[in-house]
Amino acid sequence: MTDTATTQAAATPTPKIRRAATHFDANPAKAGWITKSVLIVLCALWLIPLIGTLITSFRTTDAAANTGWWSVIVHPSTLSSLTLQNYKTALGGTTDMGQAFVNSLAITLPATFIPILFASFAAYAFTFTEFRGREFLFLAIVSMLVVPNYVAFIPILKLYKIVGLSGTFPSVWLFHIAFGMSLAIYILRNYMSTLPKTVIESAKMDGASHYQTFYRLVLPMSVPALASFAIFQFLWVWNDLLVALVFIGPGSNQPVTVALTELKGQLGQGWELTTAGGFVTMILPVIVFLALQRFFIRGLTAGAVKG
Amino acid sequence: MLAKALTALLTVVAGIGAALLLYWVLNWISERLPDNWEHRIKPYLFILPAFLGITVYILYPAILTVINSFKDNFSRNWVGLTNYRTLFDSTYFRGTLFNTLLWILIVPAACVIMGLTVAVLADRLSPRGEKAAKTVIFLPMAVSLVGAATVWRFIYDSEPKGSTQIGLLNALLSIFHKGPVAWLDTSTYHLNSLLLMVILLWIQVGFSMVLLSAAVKGVPVDTLEAARIDGASERQIFALVVIPQIRGTIITVFITVTITVMKIFDIVYVTTGGNFNTDVLGNQFWTQISTFFNYGAASAIVVIFMIAVIPIMWYQVRHFRSEEAA
Amino acid sequence: MRSLAYRTALLGAALLAGAGLTLTACGSGSGSGSSNSTTVTIWSSVDPPVKAGLEKKLVSELKAMGSKINIQWSTVTNINQLIITKIQAGGTPDIAYIPQPGVVAQMESLGAIKPLNSAVDMSSLEQNMVPGMLQAGTINGKLYGLLGSANVKGLVWYNKPAWTKAGWQIPTSIPALESLMSKMKAKGSATAPWCMGINSTGSQGWPATDWFETLTMKDYGATAYNEWVTHKIKFVSPQIEHVGAQFAQLLFPNGNAYGGRSAIASTGFDVAGNGLFTTPTPKCWMYMQGSFITGFFPTSVQSSLDKSVGVFGFPPATAGGQNPVEGGGDMLTMLNDSANVQTVVKLLSQPQIGDDAAPTSSFISPFKNFDMSLYPNDTTRTVANIMYKGDTFLFDGSDAMPAQVGAGSFWTQMTAWVANQESLNAALTNIDQSWPTSGS
């Protein structure tokens, strides 16, 4: 392994190689034109609905109701009728969007980090330790995936009332943490079981405690799975409407999703605001996705297995 | 507002700090115990917080739900099997079950196949190209489900004949002087259900792609190298080297998507509302809870979910065991 | 794991954070209005401009009284579901505006709301509200839901300039309406008599139920209507079967509704009315919908409402005959009967509470003695008058029936029948069968 890397580096001495080397080194299979065209077609199809909505978010309700969104592309003369009004109403208006945004962040960040923390410990235990009831407990956790979170609303609300947590951020955190846990443990445990066991064994033989093995070996190697789950959990909590509505309710603590619903009338007037609002709330998860992409790299386990 | 932002920040730090504190305490406790105890207790301590959360927030309500399925709508009086009987007696409900089955058969498989395709193909691109492709496929996941319904409205919409069509599909049809077709109202061969499945796939493939991509990148390169040196073609490498090594992830994704599909309701709720034979179990559950306020019937539906998930669990056990044996 | 100093620092930070967390948890958090606190919480799902107007007047009246009461009024989506959830789990507001009598009945059966009789001036209400309004919120002889804002249904909208040009007269009876429709069809097939659309996100089919209800009350009167809504007259009955046939007669024949019967189910209720205003030839002459539909008309129409749009109430069965009016609205319910809450309820139950909302929103007051000059345009005045002059105000049936029917089978069966997937008889039978047997 190491030999190939040095040879590659020596052969092509461009500075870019230092990072790219890992990639091409790892997977010399290059993309042929079939691969490229399939992907391009797929991506184009994927984007069409979103482009349609993006265009619509800049149109007036009348225009959107009367002509197809593609008419803006096909008849460029209509470009002048595009407007920022939808965005202005969605972001301005009576609801304090800035506050709602801060609230959304305050709700989402802990609800993303903390389940990862708890779940990775649990996943580690399920993968690398032996204890009674391991299989049963794991299956119990996975089968909890099927329970819809709405059945928990009333029992948990009652519990919160007793404890005095109603309407606070921790009330939502704990809820999202618990419900994210099943999926997190499932994904993380699965990923951890693909890690080379020999490395873990040798670490144990060298006298490392569970804590050290976890912290120094397993966790760094599991970064792609952790990043995957972080993306999903962030997304899920960020876009959540119902849990926030039930546990926090409307008011000064409401996140962006609840604030946006206030824009619509009783019968759904203002649906054009949903298009604008939808894009606004979409930006942050996409940024998170892009930011976490750096963890999806090859070669984390390469080199770990020697000989 | 700055004060509020600072308070929020403090709250966040406090929350995360509390979690770290918890683990530190647990580890401290376990280190205080005599050695052989420590070894035995540690695994349980590791899973304790997770388990506590799941027990309180999921297990306890789940048990309550099973009990409530035998009670009336506001869970005041016992009604025995009435809820179940009423559900299964209704042809509508049985139709709903069939629809849900259709979703379960089609969507998870399609999702895994498409996700894997994208993951593998994108893997071969340059890092920038790969990032772009994966971001595009991921984008729909960032749109909330209600947002997705609005988005697809502009594809599936149908106006009366003679009016300008504002939905893409019908507009394309009108170029050929055909249609318009009321796509979401057409239940012949379950066309509308299939179209709704397209929406779910559009969203869900991002999920399977992310996980499968992580798995594909985790395949040790030496195995790929070795196979190449042995003269295997790319297709053979994919089928015989890559797939077996990511089998666990494929199963995980498959099971997760299956369970998600079982519970699905948002897509159906915001598009057809279950009309025209598109109703699924998850939507029925939601209707019972939020419109009919019949917690008894809703609970019965959840119990049906839980029973239906048993075959999936059985499959997971088998996989578990075969993994351990390896 | 790391150095001792590092670990200590981490511990210190964590402890501090933990303390902070506890404080935050204890400190923040909205509570439900506890008994007789000076903050009164109100939830409603009315349109934001309406809520803004009502709140403004309420706050200024409290100030004028010198009261220390503080109002926290929130717009809540899914209010029906949320209120029932909160009733069972805690965290209810002091006052809630509920758009469905059926839900108010549920709240009462859960023992969550108090009678309003002592908090409001009943005799003044009886005098100034249209007959039927109070009955809609009365359960077992006591008033539990008081209509706070109203909307009118069974309204027929038309394109004023086009109508005048064509010389159509407003029909004063259903037979006159039918003869008008023949004249319209004879004039040319480019413009159909009716636009019709029953599609709606998450609640497909409800406009068809509005038609059914309007026809029932015009044909058979308020008493029969109420018996139908309480299932004493079943869906499979001579009366309702006649109404169904009448509905089919008016809308299904070729050329009666724009796009034909096949388009009705997939056309959205929100855009169907735009067919009144298409240039150069309108797609249709008439559109029946509730008063809120003006908010969905093209913006050019909305900005010149009085000039562009005309409206009349769906005519009675015979000229001068019984003429109940269908409507809906948000009913005030009181979940906490502390002294402060009752003060607020009293203020909310008076006509002048709508003074600030009327000019700036779609608000229509349920009071006959409301100052009509405050309405923003003549169209609203016309609509309000249709309601005030009606014999009886009858709440939208599907909002009053049990949810399994009113928001369930009535909608879905109507949709299936209109889309020609079911016979009328099958639809009516199915609805009857879905009516809950016990009082659940």
What stretches of C314-429 adopt beta strand conformation (E)? 325-334, 393-395
Tell me, yes or no, whether B128 and B268 share the same domain.
yes
Neighbours of chain C (3+ CB pairs under 8 A): A, B
Please check whether residue A118 lies inside any domain of the structure.
Answer: yes
Neighbours of chain A (3+ CB pairs under 8 A): B, C
Is the CB of residue B154 less than 8 Å away from at least one CB of chain C?
Answer: no
Mean pLDDT of B151-168: 82
Selected residue of A8, A37, A46, A193 to mutate for chain B interface (largest B Cβ count, 10 A):
A46
Residue A252, pLDDT > 90, answer: no
pLDDT of C377-416, one tens digit each? 999 999 999 999 999 999 998 888 888 888 888 998 999 9
pLDDT of A85-135, one tens digit each? 888 877 776 667 778 888 898 899 889 988 888 898 889 888 888 888 888
Tell me, yes or no, whether A176 and A265 share the same domain.
yes
Tell me, yes or no, whether B156 and B281 share the same domain.
yes
Tell me, yes or no, whether A57 and A149 share the same domain.
no
Higher pLDDT, B40 or B287: B287
- Which of A43, A61, A83 is where one domain is finished? A83
Tell me, yes or no, whether A239 and A146 share the same domain.
yes
Please check whether residue B277 lies inside any domain of the structure.
Answer: yes
Who contacts C91 (Cβ-Cβ below 8 Å, separation ≥6)?
A: A157, A161, A166, A167, A249, C31, C32
Please check whether residue B74 lies inside any domain of the structure.
Answer: no
Q: Which residues in A have their CB inside 8 Å of a CB on C? A: 60-62, 65-66, 94, 153-155, 157-158, 161, 164-171, 211-212, 215, 245-246, 248-253, 261-269, 271
Tell me, yes or no, whether A68 and A21 share the same domain.
yes
Is the CB of residue B113 less than 8 Å away from at least one CB of chain A?
Answer: no
Tell me, yes or no, whether B182 and B318 share the same domain.
yes
Report how far residue B290's alpha carbon sits from residue C80's, in angstroms, rounded to the nearest whole number.
8
Q: Per-residue confidence at C355, pLDDT binned at 50, 70, 90?
A: very high
Do the Cβ atoms of C24 and B10 come within 8 Å?
Answer: yes
Higher pLDDT, C142 or B171: C142
Tell me, yes or no, whether B141 and B273 share the same domain.
yes
Mean pLDDT is lowest, of A15-19, B158-162, C293-297, C325-329, for: A15-19
Residue A239, pLDDT > 70, answer: yes
Do the Cβ atoms of A194 and B218 come within 8 Å?
Answer: yes
Is the CB of residue C279 less than 8 Å away from at least one CB of chain A?
Answer: no
Is the CB of residue B310 less than 8 Å away from at least one CB of chain C?
Answer: no
Mean pLDDT is lowest, of B23-37, B109-123, C52-66, for: B23-37
Tell me, yes or no, whether A124 and A48 share the same domain.
no
Tell me, yes or no, whether B101 and B20 share the same domain.
no
Please check whether residue B257 lies inside any domain of the structure.
Answer: yes
Compare CB distances from B154 to A56, A119, A137 and report the shortest one's residue.
A56
Is the CB of residue B107 less than 8 Å away from at least one CB of chain A?
Answer: no
Do B205 and B111 meet the contact criterion of CB atoms below 8 Å apart?
yes
User: Rounded to the nearest 5 degrees, what angle is found at the Cα of B133, between the Cα atoms of B130 and B139?
Assistant: 130
CA distances, C336 to each of B314, C91, C113, C348 (Å):
51, 12, 7, 15
Residue A146 domain boundaries: 97-295
Please check whether residue B153 lies inside any domain of the structure.
Answer: yes
Which SS3 state, helix, strand or coil, does residue C368 take?
coil
Do C149 and C291 meet the contact criterion of CB atoms below 8 Å apart?
no
Tell me, yes or no, whether A39 and A187 share the same domain.
no
pLDDT of C36-60, one tens digit each? 788 999 999 988 889 999 999 999 9
Total domains present in chain A = 2
Residue-wise DSSP of A93-105:
SSS-HHHHHHHHH
Mean pLDDT is lowest, of A25-39, A259-273, C195-209, for: A259-273
Residue C6, pLDDT > 80, answer: no
Nearest-Cα distance to chain C for B157, in Å, is 8
Residue C25, pLDDT > 80, answer: no
| C61 closest CA partner among C353, C334, C363, C374 | C353
Which SS3 state, helix, strand or coil, does residue C41 take?
strand
| B182 closest CA partner among B162, B156, B202, B206 | B156
Please check whether residue A92 lies inside any domain of the structure.
Answer: no
What stretches of C82-163 adopt beta strand conformation (E)? 95-98, 138-139, 142-143, 146-152, 155-159
Neighbours of chain B (3+ CB pairs under 8 A): A, C
Tell me, yes or no, whether B262 and B315 share the same domain.
yes
Compare CB distances from B8 to A27, A105, A179 and report the shortest one's residue.
A105
Please check whether residue B234 lies inside any domain of the structure.
Answer: yes
Chain A residues whose CB is inside 8 A of the B23 CB are 117, 121
Which SS3 state, helix, strand or coil, does residue A80 take?
helix
Tell me, yes or no, whether A275 and A204 share the same domain.
yes
Q: Which CATH number fits the domain that encloses residue A289?
A: 1.10.3720.10
Please check whether residue B62 lies inside any domain of the structure.
Answer: no
Do A267 and C271 meet the contact criterion of CB atoms below 8 Å apart?
no
pLDDT of A161-192, one tens digit each? 888 877 788 889 889 999 998 889 988 888 88
Report how far residue C111's alpha carbon sits from residue C100's, in angstroms, rounded to the nearest whole number.
17
Q: What is the CA radius of gyration of chain C?
A: 25
Question: Does a cis peptide bond (omega within 30 degrees of 0) precede residue B180?
Answer: yes
Q: Could you tell me whether strands C39-44 and C70-75 are parallel, antiparallel, or unpaired per DSSP bridges?
A: parallel
Please check whether residue B246 lies inside any domain of the structure.
Answer: yes
Residue-wise DSSP of C372-409:
GGGSSSHHHHHHHHHHHHSS-EEE-HHHHS-HHIIIII
β-strand partners of B78: B71
Residue B310 domain boundaries: 94-325
Mean pLDDT is lowest, of A4-13, A105-114, B8-17, for: A4-13
Q: Per-residue confidence at B186, pLDDT binned at 50, 70, 90?
A: confident
Tell me, yes or no, whether A102 and A192 share the same domain.
yes
- Which of A58, A83, A108 is where one domain is finished? A83
User: What does the pLDDT read at residue B26?
Assistant: 77
Please check whether residue A302 lies inside any domain of the structure.
Answer: no
Q: Nearest-CA residue of chain C relative to A151? A: C85
Report how far residue A263's alpha carbon sits from residue A85's, in angstroms, rounded to the nearest whole number.
13
Compare CB distances from A49 to B57, B152, B165 and report the shortest one's residue.
B152
Tell me, yes or no, whether A164 and A196 share the same domain.
yes
pLDDT of B242-274, one tens digit each? 888 888 889 889 999 998 898 888 888 878 888
Please check whether residue B61 lies inside any domain of the structure.
Answer: no
Chain A residues whose CB is inside 8 A of the C46 CB are 266
β-strand partners of C286: C158, C194
Tell me, yes or no, whether B159 and B27 share the same domain.
no
β-strand partners of C367: C129
Do C201 and A268 meet the contact criterion of CB atoms below 8 Å apart?
yes
Total domains present in chain B = 2
User: How big is chain A, counted in residues?
Assistant: 307
Tokens of C325: 């009016």
Tell me, yes or no, whether B251 and B120 share the same domain.
yes
Mean pLDDT of A71-86: 78
pLDDT of B199-238, one tens digit each? 999 999 999 998 898 888 878 888 888 888 888 887 888 8
Chain C residues whose CB is inside 8 A of the A259 CB are none
Tell me, yes or no, whether B307 and B170 share the same domain.
yes
Tell me, yes or no, whether B288 and B173 share the same domain.
yes
Do the Cβ atoms of B256 and A48 come within 8 Å?
Answer: no
For residue C431, which phi and psi values (nearest 5 degrees)? -65, -45
Please check whether residue A303 lies inside any domain of the structure.
Answer: no
Tell me, yes or no, whether B249 and B144 share the same domain.
yes
Do the Cβ atoms of C404 and B292 come within 8 Å?
Answer: yes
Do the Cβ atoms of A69 and B218 come within 8 Å?
Answer: no
**Residues 39 through 98 of chain B touching chain A, CB cutoff 8 Å:** 40, 42-44, 46-47, 49-51, 53-54, 56-62, 64-65
Q: Which CATH number fits the domain that encloses residue B157?
A: 1.10.3720.10
Which SS3 state, helix, strand or coil, does residue C300 take?
helix
Is the CB of residue B239 less than 8 Å away from at least one CB of chain A?
Answer: no
Tell me, yes or no, whether A231 and A108 share the same domain.
yes
Please check whether residue A231 lies inside any domain of the structure.
Answer: yes
Chain B residues whose CB is inside 8 A of the A159 CB are 56
Compare CB distances from A261 to C77, C86, C200 and report the shortest one's residue.
C77
Compare CB distances from A157 to C48, C77, C91 and report the shortest one's residue.
C91
Tell me, yes or no, whether A50 and A118 share the same domain.
no
What stretches of B13-156 adopt beta strand conformation (E)? none
Tell me, yes or no, whether B139 and B19 share the same domain.
no
Chain C residues whose CB is inside 8 A of the B290 CB are 78, 80-81
Q: CB neighbours (10 Å) of residue A121?
A: 26
Structural domains of chain C sorted by starting position, each given as residue range(s) with its CATH number in brackets = 39-150+330-376 (3.40.190.10), 155-313+402-434 (3.40.190.10)
User: What does the pLDDT read at residue A27?
Assistant: 57
Compare CB distances from C1 to A66, A165, A211 and report the shortest one's residue.
A211
Tell me, yes or no, whether A63 and A153 share the same domain.
no
The count of CB pairs under 8 A between chains B and C is: 111
